A and B are shown apart, each in its own frame.
Chain A
C-alpha cells in the first residue's frame, strides 16, 4: 500500500498538529477559487452550529491549483494565532491544505482524504464537492449526524433533480446497484457524502487506488465498497442539485467515471452481490427521489442518429461484447425509423448486463467496452425521452420503477452471462 506516497511529509506535519479529531471535512480541489471561499465558510458555519463542541478540521487535497485555492481554504481556520477572529467558538478549527503528487485526479484526492481521516481517527468524515455553490450549513448536519451520533457508516445524498437530468443514474446506475445489492441508493456517484472511521479503514485496505478506475471514479468505488462490505447505509436529502461538473457533459468521460467503476466493483465483489435475493430499505432523511418538471431544450434527433450509426459502425466491437440475439435486436431497432423506435426496457437491461459480463471477462480492452456503451446509452436516452416527454411526475416515477423491477427481474440473466464461457460468438 503506497500510503506513504499519498501523504506528503508536509501534510503529515500538519496532521500531527491537528491531532485526533471527531469530524473531518474533505475537499478535493483544482482551480476552484471562484467557489471554494464560499463553500468553506458555509462548512465552517455548519460545523460551529451543529458540532460546536466537537474537534473538527477541514482538509483540502489540492491538485496544484494556480489560483490561490489552498489559501482561500486556510483563511477559514479558527486559531488563537490569528487574533483578528471575531467568531466566538470553544475550539480551534484547523483548515489545512496540501498538494498531492502527480496530475490532478479525483481518486488521488479522495485517497488523501480517506488516509487522513484514518490517521486522525475521525469518527465521521464528509466529502464536499468544491463547486457546490448551493451548499447550506444544514448539509453538515445531514451528512455527519447519521454517522457521528447514529452510528451509520455511509451517507449518500438525495438531490432534487430535473426529471431528465442524470439519466445515466436513473436508467443505469441506480437500478443496477439496486438489482445487484437489493439496496436502493439514489446517488451511487455522490458529489457529497459521509463515511465513518470503520469504512475509512476498510477503504484504505482496498487495492483500488492505484488502478485507473480508482483514479477516475473514486466515488462509485467507495459506494460499491460500502455495499459489498455490508456497511450501514443512510441517505440524506440535500436539496436541488445545481452544479454540473464541466467534464461530465462529455458522455464517454461520464461513463468512465461511473459505469467503469461500477462494472469493476461488480467484478471484484461477485460473491457479495450474487447471492442477494431480497431488497432492503435504506433509512432516508427527507424525501426520496424528488423530481422537478422544468422544461429543457433537447436534441433528440441527434441522439437517435448517434445510436443508429453507432450500432452499425461498431458492429465488429459489439460482436465481441453482446450475444447474437441482443445485437440483432439492436440492429433491428437501428434500422427502423425514429417514430417506430422500440427500445424496450428489457432490451436495455439485457444489453447492460451483457456489457457487465463482458467487462468482467475482459473480452476486449475494458476501456473499449465502456466506450462501446455510449451509443447504446444514447439510444436509451432517446427512448426514455420519447416515453416521458409529456408524462407527469407520477408517471415518470412509475416508469422508472418499472425499469428498476426489470433490472431486478433479469438478475438471473446477469448471473448466467457472468458464469457463462464466452460472451462473444
Chain B
C-alpha cells in the first residue's frame, strides 16, 4: 500500500512536473514579453513625456483648470500623469498579449473582451476629464457674468452650473461604459427635472412674495440705476 501511495504521488508529481514543464516555456515567454513590454512602455513614456513637455501641456492643463484638480487630488502633474498612463497601458497590452500566448481558451476570450472594453474605458475617462474641465470653465464664466451684472447669488449659479455639467459628464461616461444605462438615464432625468421643478416651485409658490418683491426690485430699480451708473462712461 505504501508503494501505491508513493507511486500515485509520484504520478501526480510527474503530472505536475510535466504540466509545469509544459507551462514553463510559456511562462518564460510571458516573462520575456513582459520584460520587453516594460522596456517599450518605458521608452514610450519617455517619448510621450518629452513630447508633452515640448508642447507645454502643463500650461494648457493649468489654463483649463485641470492642474488645480490634480493638485487637490494629490496626483502628479498632467504631463506626468499622461506619461504614466501611457506606460501602464502599453505594458498592460504586452502582458495581456503574453497571457494570450499561454493559449488557455477561457483566458483568451476574457482577454479579448477586456481589450475590446479598454477603449471604451479610455473614452469614458476622457469624457469625464473634459466634462470636469468644461464644468470648471463654465461655472467660472457663470460666476463672473453673474457678479458683473449684479445678479443675486452668483455663487449658487456658479455651483449649479458646475453640478449640472459634471452630472451630465458622469451620465455620459456611464453610458459610454454601458453600465446601468437605463438607470443612469432615469436618475439623471429625475435629478435634473427635480432641480428645475424645485426652482420653479420655489419661485412660483413658496417664495411668491419674495419673488414678486425681488422681481419688482429688479425691474423697477434697474432702469434708473442703469441710467445713473451709465451717465459716466469709463472711457
A interface residues, Cβ below 8 angstroms from B: 162, 164-169, 189, 244-245, 248-249, 251-252, 254, 257-258, 296-299, 302-303, 306, 309-310, 313-314, 316-317, 320, 362-365, 368, 371-372, 374-375, 377, 381
- Dominant secondary structure at the B interface: helix
- A211 to chain B minimum Cβ distance, whole angstroms, is 16
Instruction: Say yes or no for B232: interface residue by CB 8 A criterion.
Output: yes
- Smallest CB-CB separation from B68: which chain A residue? A320
Partner of A298, one of B146, B150, B228, B234: B228
Which 10 pairs, one residue from A and one from B, show the smallest C-beta to C-beta distance?
A: A168-B234, A249-B230, A371-B144, A299-B228, A244-B233, A248-B235, A313-B154, A374-B148, A254-B234, A310-B147
Which of chain A's residues has its CB closest to B136's CB? A364
Chain B hits for A165, CB < 8 A: 232-233
Docked pose: A189 CA to B144 CA in angstroms? 25
Contact B147 A258 (CB under 8 A): no
Tell me if A299 and B229 are in contact (CB < 8 A). Answer: yes
**Cα A365 to Cα B150 with chains together (Å):** 21
| Shortest distance between the CB of A220 and any CB in chain B (Å) | 11
Number of interface residues of B (CB under 8 A): 26
- Are the C-beta atoms of B145 and A371 separated by less than 8 Å? yes
Residue from the list B59, B140, B155, B229 in contact with A302, Cβ < 8 A: B229
CA distance A309 to B150 in the complex (A): 9
Q: Is B65 a contact of A252 with CB atoms below 8 Å?
A: no
Which of A249, A299, A364 is B65 in contact with, Cβ under 8 Å?
Answer: A364
**A406–B224 alpha-carbon span in the complex (Å):** 36
Instruction: Say yes or no: A299-B225 contact (C-beta < 8 A), given A168-B234, A363-B62.
Output: yes
Interface presence of B33 (CB below 8 A): no
Number of residue pairs A-B, CB distance < 8 angstroms:
95
Query: Are B234 and A362 touching (Cβ within 8 A)?
Result: no
Q: Within the complex, what minimum Cβ distance (angstroms) separates B228 from chain A?
A: 4
Least CB distance from A241 to B in Å reads 9
Q: Which residues of A contact B155 (CB under 8 A)?
A: 313
A363-B63, A377-B234 known; 20 other A-B pairs, CB under 8 Å? Answer: A164-B232, A166-B234, A167-B232, A189-B235, A244-B233, A245-B235, A254-B235, A309-B147, A309-B154, A316-B140, A316-B143, A317-B140, A317-B144, A362-B59, A363-B62, A368-B140, A368-B141, A371-B145, A374-B147, A375-B147
Please determine whether A248 and B233 come into contact, CB atoms closer than 8 angstroms. Answer: yes
A365 touches B143 (CB 8 A): no
Residues A368 and B232 in contact, CB atoms below 8 Å apart: no
Task: Check if A368 sits within 8 Å of B144, measured CB to CB.
Answer: yes
Q: Tell me whether A365 and B225 are in contact (CB under 8 A).
A: no
- With A313-B154, A375-B148 in contact, do A258 and B140 touch (Cβ < 8 Å)? no
Q: Is the CB of A166 within 8 A of B235?
A: yes
A33 to B150, CA, bound (A): 34
Query: How many Å lie between the Cα of A257 and that of B230 in the bound state?
Result: 17
Contacts of B63 in A (CB 8 A): 362-365
* Distance in angstroms between the alpha carbons of A167 and B233 in the assembled complex: 8
The answer on a CB contact under 8 Å between A252 and B148 is yes
Q: Kindly report which residue of chain A lies nearest to residue B65, judged by CB atoms.
A: A364
Q: Is the CB of A244 within 8 A of B147?
A: no
Closest chain A residue, CB of each to CB of B233: A244
Question: Residue on A with the closest CB to B149?
Answer: A252
Closest residue of chain A to B60 (Cβ to Cβ) is A362
B137 within 8 A of A: yes
Question: What is the CA–CA distance of A381 and B232 in the complex, to the nearest angstrom?
Answer: 11
**Cα(A257)–Cα(B234), bound, Å:** 11
Question: Out of B59, B62, B154, B234, which one reaches A251, CB within 8 Å?
Answer: B234
B68, B137, B234, most chain A CB atoms within 10 A = B234
A173 nearest CB neighbor, chain B only? B235
Residues of B within 8 A of A169 (CB): 234-235
Which residues of A sit under 8 angstroms from B225, Cβ to Cβ?
Answer: 299, 302
Q: Are A258 and B229 in contact (CB under 8 A)?
A: no
Residues in B with CB closer than 8 Å to A167 are: 232, 234
Contacts of A189 on B, CB cut-off 8 Å? 235
Residue pairs across A and B with Cβ atoms less than 8 A apart, 24 shown, are: A162-B232, A165-B233, A166-B233, A166-B235, A245-B233, A245-B235, A248-B233, A249-B230, A252-B148, A298-B228, A299-B229, A302-B150, A309-B154, A310-B147, A314-B143, A320-B68, A362-B59, A362-B62, A364-B140, A365-B137, A371-B148, A374-B144, A374-B147, A375-B147
State in angstroms the CA–CA spacing of A336 and B231 once bound together.
Answer: 27
Check A298–B144 contact: CB distance below 8 A.
Answer: no
Q: Given the complex of chains A and B, what is the CA–CA distance between A316 and B146 in angstroms?
A: 14
Instruction: Name A371's closest neighbour in chain B (CB-CB).
Output: B144
Alpha-carbon separation in the docked complex, A189 to B59 (Å): 31
Given A313-B154, A362-B59, A364-B65, is A297 in contact with B231 using a C-beta cutoff of 8 Å?
yes
